[in-house]
Amino acid sequence: MARVMSLSPEMKGKSTIFFPDIVKPDIMSFIKENGELITLSKGELIPKSILLNNFIYLNTGLIFYIKRTNNYTKPKFVNVIIPHRLTDYHLLLENNCTCCKSIKVARDSQITIVEKSLIKNLIKEDIELFTRFMFDANYFTERQTALAIFLLTSSPEDKLIKFLFDILVAFKTEFISMWLTIDIKLTREEIADILHISIIKLDLMLGSLKKQGMLKKEKGLFSINTALFSELSPCPLGREDAQGCKSNNMLKFKMKNMIEINNV
């Protein structure tokens, strides 16, 4: 089986599932040219009216995209959104319900909101850019599906290891030394929510990793021994042929093919 540590930095990025992909430069330019800048304080909830009618791009800070479940023992899924990402693509073409979704400002943040209608109009004004939005929407959905399956079928230990790896990759950490520092402070409660586990279980796992010499904490930041990732597969679902989590299914959605389909 392929091992994630042997991948190039680009392929490491494709193997992550806990974080949305960074927004492409052309889409980022469109957002900045057409969006409205909003500053938010820690603890705020983004109004449902904004969530329903706009795309939300994070410039700086940290936000949590929260989806409610029907399991009272595990009432929510939490996606952590770091800068230069969009929160969701599910509202791209339709006015879908947002009753089970909310966005909480985890740290003081600055966001850019873009009216969904402007993106929909791209199908007439710039079909290539609209197609890239659609391509990224498919990729986002596929990644979210992989994350949900992984969280529901993996052990708490595997979830923690995968999350630690993904956060290092998302912050563009170079894997060139034995100890790597996670350059973001998250509370125990936040990590437990992201991993869909209890705080007690998280504390037990963190304590075990410290005893094994795989994790230490300095100045409030975690440092991870790269040996922890030696057995980690590029695919969270353990596919033998995995070369990162960007599924071969996405190869069907070539830009040229999608443009031709939309012009029929």
Query: Could you give the 3-state DSSP secondary structure of residue 38?
Result: strand
pLDDT in tens, the chain (264 residues): 567 888 888 888 888 999 998 999 999 999 999 999 999 999 999 998 888 888 899 999 999 998 887 777 666 788 899 999 998 775 565 666 667 788 999 999 999 999 988 988 999 999 999 999 888 888 888 888 889 899 989 999 999 999 999 999 999 999 999 999 999 999 999 999 999 999 999 999 999 999 999 999 988 899 999 999 998 888 777 665 555 555 444 444 444 544 444 444
pTM metric for this prediction: 0.85
- Give the span between the Cα atoms of 52 and 100, in whole angstroms: 12
Q: Domain residues of the chain, as ranges?
A: 1-17+127-264, 20-120
Contact 161, 228 (CB under 8 A): yes
DSSP string, 90-129: TTSSS----TTEEEEEEEEEEEEEEEHHHHHTHHHH-HHH
Beta bridge partners of 68: 76
Task: Tell me which fold the domain 20-120 belongs to.
Answer: Jelly Rolls (2.60.120)
- Report which of 181, 35, 38, 9 is spatially closest to residue 111, judged by C-alpha positions: 38
Contact 112, 57 (CB under 8 A): yes
CA of 259: how far to CAs of 14, 93, 125, 152, 263, in Å?
Answer: 24, 17, 13, 36, 6
- Give the span between the Cα atoms of 53 and 95, in whole angstroms: 8
Q: Does domain 1-17+127-264 have CATH number 1.10.10.10?
A: yes
